[in-house]
Amino acid sequence: MRYMFALVLGFGGLAILLWLGFWQLDRLTRKAEKLAEIDARMQASPLAVPDAPAQAEHNYLQVFATGSLTGEEIHVLTSKKNAGPGFLVISKLVLGEGRKVLVDLGFVPETRKNEKRHQGAVELTGSLFWPNEMDPLFTPDPDLVGNRWFARDLPAMAAILETEPVLIVASAVQPESDNMPTPVRVAANIPNNHLEYAVTWFSMAACWLAMTVCLIWRIKRRMT
């Protein structure tokens, strides 16, 4: 009876830990495929902004756009290494065909938050991006009076500036400005830590197996 309990407990737990390890390896493979697909989009030549951008198909897609900045802006609180606190400047861009989209023009220090910036014709390249920065529990509501936002909330920003819920994160803008571009970094948005998780589960499985063998040995000693 004691042997049976030890075997069920030991090998049942071992099976669960091994399953978790192999599950993480499967997720590692899927994540690698997804990152390869995104990398292909990032390395491709810029295309015109699609007529109906969709997150699943166009996230991180490299695009070019010509249009006119209206001067209407949203300021998203952030910080930048070696520059300190500041804001991402999200501006309204009217494309040549009349469509209205959002463009992230980059970082400005806090002291330059309310400076007058370029309005009118621009040409830019960048990435279509759907930020995942909102936390319903911890992200404060934006200060609309002071124009101080705490995350890039795409639907809310589009509603305020009356644009499509489409965001271009600019990597280059002509004419140039003093803004510091903040191109999308794939590694920062899609971490791939599944190998570490798999190693952790397999290590736990090895420890569990060792404890099971030790338990069975102790039971055997007591019975002899």
Give the mean model confidence (pLDDT) for residues 192-203: 86
Tell whether the model's pLDDT for residue 7 goes beyond 80.
Answer: no
Enumerate the domain spans of the chain. Answer: 2-38+192-223, 61-183
Interval 141-179: pLDDT, tens = 999 999 999 999 999 999 999 999 999 999 999 998 888
Tell the burial category of 202 from Cβ atoms under 10 Å away from its Cβ (0-12, 13-18, 19+).
Answer: middle
Determine the Cα–Cα distance for residues 93 and 58; give it in Å rounded to an integer. Answer: 19
Tell whether the model's pLDDT for residue 188 goes beyond 60.
Answer: no
- 3-state secondary structure at position 44: coil
Residues 6+ apart with CB under 8 A from 162: 92, 100
| Number of residues in the chain | 224
- 3-state secondary structure at position 76: strand
Q: Was domain 61-183 assigned CATH 3.40.50?
A: no
Work out the mean pLDDT of the chain and round it to a whole number: 87
pTM of the model: 0.75
pLDDT of residue 224: 63
Cβ 104 vs Cβ 170: under 8 Å? yes
> In sequence order, what DSSP letters do the residues of 138-150 get, joined into one string?
TSPPPBTTTTBBS
The structure tokens 């965001």 sit at 167
pLDDT of residue 167: 97
Give the mean model confidence (pLDDT) for residues 32-41: 75
pLDDT of residue 104: 96
Tell whether the model's pLDDT for residue 2 goes beyond 90.
Answer: no
